[in-house]
Chain A
Amino acid sequence: MTTLTLRGWLLAEVPRSKGQARCQRVFISWLAFKRNPVAVIGLLIIASLVMVALLAPWLTSTEALELNLAKRLQPPGGEHWFGTDELGRDILDRIIWGSRITLYIVGLVSIIVVPIGLVIGVVAGYIGGWVDNFLMRLTDIFLAFPRLILAMALVAALGPGLENAVLAIALTTWSPFARIARAEALTIRNSDFILAARMQGVSTAGILTRHVAPLCMSSVIVRLTLDMAGIILTAAGLGFLGLGAQPPTPEWGAMISLGRQYLIDQWWVPTMPGIAILVVSLGFNLLGDGLRDVFDPKSGGNQ
């Protein structure tokens, strides 16, 4: 009954309040999203990542993260589903705890990158002229920079560690977002509703924040989701080069890095975290593909 009325409320022809209208919009997008099996799989993966991260203390035993040199390098089996690592720790447990770090990276990068990219892109695209020129030159410089190398340089300068790695990644990732936001802003700025807003005397700041930016958001979010995999991989790459999370933090890239010498005889040590990274980036990619189909029906999906 309640679900029926909730659904009814969500699909009501005539929304009665701002809140209902907003919920409806989200719900209808969700309906469209739901029809895309690929995206749903992606969402499921990400959702389970979040769940695993939240439930980590209950999913793992407390002593699992401690060294147990007597039980090192045990193959996957009943006691240790993913085997144990070079210091005798349960790999599954470490992967579970590592999911928190992955989410932390993803979250932190997003909240740094999106605002920077959005502000620079929207301002450049909408204002145009020399402001655009200047901002885009700046963006170009960061684009032209070898990305991993810039990140490494930044980490090296800031000192290794997860926070610094994330910061470095963020500082090297914002440029494409600025470009996307700018491209969107360029098409938006000449649309009639922007002219209408100017006609009504809305200030430039108001147009940027209330009219242009929200419309750039969806492509930025899609791109962000698609880039997430890249971000995770870059973080893992930095971890691989010893510049990311510090031991014994169970960051997946660092786990591969330290475990790589065991690939030949104890394949599970680097392989399990490798698969974890693969699955999660796959999840983000699937989700991003799906979101793009929902937000931008012209590519993919039926027309």
Chain B
Amino acid sequence: MKKIKITLLGFAAALMLVTGASQAATPKNTFVLAKDIADIITMDPAEVFELTTGEIIANIYDRIMMFEPEDLQNLVGGVAESWEVSEDGKTITFKVRSGLKFHSGNPVRAEDVAWSLQRVVKLNKTPAFIVTQFGWNADNVDSLVKATDNDHLQITITEEFSPGLVLNALSAGIASVVDKKLVMSHEKDGDLGYDWLKSNSAGSGAFSLKTWKANEIVMLQAHKGYRHGAPGMDRVILQHVSEPSSQRLLLEKGDIDMARNLTPDQVKGIEGNSDIAVDGHPKGTIVYMAANAGHPILGKDKVVQAMRHLIDYDSMADSFLAGQFVVHQAFWPAGLWGALETTPYKQDVVTAKALLAEAGHADGFELTIHTLTNSPFPEIAQAVQANLAKGGIKTNIVTLEGKTLWPKYRAREHDIILAHWSPDYVDPHSNADAFANNPDNRFEAKKTGHLTWRNAWSDDASNSLAIKARNELDLDKRKQQYLELQAMLQKKGPFVIMFQQNEQVARRRNLDGFVSGSNFDLVFYRNVTKR
């Protein structure tokens, strides 16, 4: 089928022998998507907190609660068939669906579900805070999370939390149900199978993990016995391609079915290609700028307010961000329950200058903007630099890899950070806790999980409203409180929230059924089909 045609290729005047390229199309039963997957460091759902793995484990593991690709708006039971909330809202009892099987063939028992949560708490990896905030710890979790019989799971929280929030939290990655038997058979030195699960899977979801080669490839294999029926594709391959241009070339050539990291201008470039379709998926990721309140000038509310007025949101969103970011100015992403969708700010240099003058900085000052090296952050930073210059604020840009930027941020060593944030789970509390609540502003407190703390900013009104909304049992009231909190943060505080992401995914037209929801882990491969 492949004749080796010898072509004489004069490249840089060097003659070399080249074998003819295969006319590529991906196999019918395989879904190949190109993505930058360099962020993967573990496949263990108790530890997974990266964007790519968030998405992968969503396809490997069923969770207690879930959003299903068929309906991304409403939270439904995953392995939980039904649940009951106690009067005081502190105990929830789940009934586990019957007849579910893990990839290994083991049945899914309430014990597996309980053990999965216990494991998260005991291992206490980064995402564990999502459930430990309910008052669970290694000592009490065995009694607070337990299987009452073969198909009933009972959980009890000791802190004040809205049960709606708890259910939402149980749709996060840490609520993935893990095959206890299988994992424990790989346990070493009491590590609860941690070492093994890092690069293996033990779930009951639509796919199982076949291979993971860091910086190269992740291969998933269909779980034919999945509760929603066999997935459309036998195999899903995530190919690591870090260069967006390369992704585009591969897609245009049909060497991949989908490119996930195209830039707006590249999307524009392939518009004319009839083999390719581009879908937009609104995402929960927001782009924001944060000013360190510990800074003598940035600590002044009016200065930050002036910055909000200086930035020309629209021209960015209309040019180099076009299609992939929309203007959004509140901490909870638009389209989600409880989001404030107003955008009160436009570039207004006069107001900004007035505010700066009031703050005593009419003559301007100099700052450093730290941001990430990957597109679009350098571009946004340069635009922001030009915008701020209009108010007399001179800025230097320093771009850093995330791994180098975060330590600076967590040590409060920045002036201004330009970065992004996505919710840990789909509940406004996730972002409110980060953007509005600061339990302890002392440097020694090291409340690094809160962006407020990182920016040395604390406000009693904001703190108390965030807690109040968290604990509110009534859904409507809760929503109102979040709207109020977002409006409050639009006028004060260290954050200038600028954009919300709209993921543009380019796919071959013969491929359908790819679902990408508002959060990073709401990406589903199981409905993908190919013509």
Contact = CB atoms under 8 A, between A and B. Distances in A.
Nearest to B398: A246
Nearest to A249: B397
A246 B263 contact: no
Given A160-B398, A261-B375, A265-B265, A247 B381 contact: yes
Interface in B202-242: none
Given A246-B396, A265-B268, A258 B378 contact: yes
Interface in B360-378: 373, 375, 378
Contacts of A248: 382, 385, 397
Given A260-B243, A261-B375, A73 B265 contact: yes
Interface in B366-410: 373, 375, 378-379, 381-383, 385-386, 396-401, 404
A60 B385 CA distance: 21
Contacts of A57: none
B248 interface: yes
B320 A72 contact: yes
B397 A69 contact: no
B266 interface: yes
Interface string A269-288: 00000000000000000000
A265 B269 contact: yes
A261 B269 CA distance: 11
Contacts of B316: 69
B342 interface: no
A23 interface: no
B58 to A, nearest CB: 28
Contact of A69 (B249, B268, B320, B375): B320
Contacts of B399: 160, 242, 246-247
Contacts of A161: 398
B513 to A, nearest CB: 28
A264 B315 contact: no
Interface residues of B, number: 31
Contact of A86 (B244, B265, B318, B401): B265
Interface string A98-125: 0000000000000000000000000000
B320 A242 contact: no
A266 interface: yes
A69 B320 CA distance: 8
A181 B466 CA distance: 69
B245 interface: yes
Contacts of B318: 69
Of B266, B319, B386, the most chain A CB neighbours within 10 A belong to: B319
Contacts of B398: 159-161, 246
Contacts of B245: 260-261, 263-264
Interface string A239-272: 0001000111000000000101111111000000
A88 B382 CA distance: 12
Contacts of B315: 69-70
A44 interface: no
Interface string B282-323: 000000000000000000000000000000000110111000
Contacts of A197: none
Given A87-B320, A161-B398, A246-B399, A258 B386 contact: no
A140 interface: no
Contact of A264 (B248, B379, B396): B248
Contacts of B375: 258, 261
Nearest to B389: A66
Given A246-B399, A265-B265, 10 more contacts: A69-B320, A87-B379, A246-B396, A247-B399, A248-B385, A260-B243, A261-B263, A261-B375, A265-B269, A266-B265
Interface of A: 66-67, 69-70, 72-73, 86-88, 156, 159-161, 242, 246-248, 258, 260-266
The 3 A-B pairs with the shortest beta carbon distances in the complex, nearest first, are A242-B373, A265-B269, A69-B319
17 contacts: A69-B320, A69-B383, A88-B319, A159-B398, A246-B397, A246-B398, A247-B378, A247-B381, A247-B397, A247-B399, A248-B382, A258-B378, A261-B244, A261-B245, A261-B375, A263-B245, A265-B266
